[in-house]
Structure 1
């Protein structure tokens, strides 16, 4: 496995040691457990660790974050290492991956929570509702991802989805469905352009306040209205 690139110090600062340890765990235990493919080991830093961590610039300070379908811990673990001010929950349905995430959190002494479940489950919606940000990487197409994310977000909260070359295509295809489901027009952004050879592409959707039905006076009862009219 390659040594950490110089920019890793810029991204992780004093927490670089934890980032290195996580990368080592992925390269060894992660491959053994099938969490990542062996061909990914030589590109862990650029394609996975730094690619995940640079989305930190899209998140407000102290945000409550849900990593939906965390899997191997991407992007949630690099994010919490880079931004320990965040309150991160790693949400994952598969038992073996939950076990892995729990080991990582304990080994690295991270202030993150691990929850087993799916975003669409009523119990998970109740437990994790009110998040400031939902993050996701390689989980589902945008429309489905928004349907899972929206119930977990507070009004004004945001989905930050890591996408590759398909970002513009997904926005064009799913933008209307997202809007109908209470989201803003999805916006494609790039993060880490000044650090990475290939910047991270994200799609950002904000949960909007539900539209209130307009009030009309057309249906008012004139006899009821007359009771309040001033007598001559």
Structure 2
């Protein structure tokens, strides 16, 4: 693989892997002195990440804007010093860019697939990140025991809002927030799934825009109810597990 800065990257023929995309000027502002680490992350995504199937070939030219800067933009709505569980972390999105842009956050990367867990552990080790990697599904009791209740749960391209709220809100402390990265139809998705979100213990749903330009993203913020007796996910947890098993 050849990099944007020239020369072969990590043990590959320069002709057998796509080039690493150039670093956009906005990246320096977002990542500051962590920019070299963010650039190394992009190199890992474009090289071994592509080879191992954690990122598709069509995404490589737009790794910065659509994936890395896009994910880091979520940090605009997260409180200082928050504990964060990134569910279905996959390639490390949005968790890894958040860890680089917001080093004050205490982040756990939650992923059910063994090969992706191995990938995340490699990324964390090579980048020297102070984050935790956990293998598991958000809806599993053991996962909830291991992760506890966090200030924020983040999710990107995991599930429709109703199902996502059912799975993830039990990992959020009362008064905490689910921050779900969504597309242009986010508002209509919230409206469609509002009953299910509320049944899961969610309230005060808001759709906000984070970031600017090509790296902008839509985020749905759902607060977990602080009312006594609220049981997130009640009545839908078993169905959620069956749905996930079929995905």
TM-score (norm 1): 0.88
Task: Tell me if the contact between 2:151 and 2:173 (Cα under 8 Å) persists in the aligned partners.
Answer: yes
Structure 1 unmatched runs, 5+? 214-232
Task: Tell me if the contact between 2:66 and 2:214 (Cα under 8 Å) persists in the aligned partners.
Answer: no
1:180 aligns with 2:199: yes
* Whole-Å separation in 2 of the counterparts to 1:93 and 1:212: 29
Partner of 1:200: 217
Partner of 1:123: 142
Q: After TM superposition, give the deviation of residue 82 of structure 1 in Å.
A: 0.6
* Whole-Å separation in 1 of the counterparts to 2:77 and 2:215: 17
Post-superposition CA distance 1:121-149 (Å, at most 9, x none)? 11111121220000000000001111111
Partner of 2:171: 152
* Whole-Å separation in 2 of the counterparts to 1:127 and 1:2: 37
Partner of 2:233: none
Q: After TM superposition, give the deviation of residue 210 of structure 1 in Å.
A: 2.5
Map residues 1-232 of structure 1 onto 2, 5 A cutoff: 1-193=20-212, 196-197=213-214, 199-211=216-228
Task: Tell me if the contact between 2:109 and 2:133 (Cα under 8 Å) persists in the aligned partners.
Answer: yes
Task: Tell me if the contact between 1:178 and 1:185 (Cα under 8 Å) persists in the aligned partners.
Answer: no
Task: Tell me if the contact between 1:91 and 1:114 (Cα under 8 Å) persists in the aligned partners.
Answer: yes
Structure 2 unmatched runs, 5+? 1-19, 231-247
Aligned Cα RMSD in Å? 1.3
SS of residue paired to 2:204: coil
**Shift >4 Å, 4+ stretches:** none
Q: After TM superposition, give the deviation of residue 212 of structure 1 in Å.
A: 6.1
* Whole-Å separation in 2 of the counterparts to 1:91 and 1:103: 14
Task: Tell me if the contact between 2:69 and 2:215 (Cα under 8 Å) persists in the aligned partners.
Answer: no
- Mean CA deviation greater in 140-149 or 179-188: 179-188
Instruction: Give the count of matched residue pairs.
Output: 211
* Whole-Å separation in 2 of the counterparts to 1:160 and 1:212: 23
Q: After TM superposition, give the deviation of residue 211 of structure 1 in Å.
A: 4.8
SS of residue paired to 1:186: strand
Task: Tell me if the contact between 1:192 and 1:199 (Cα under 8 Å) persists in the aligned partners.
Answer: yes
SS of residue paired to 1:197: helix
- Mean CA deviation greater in 86-95 or 172-181: 172-181
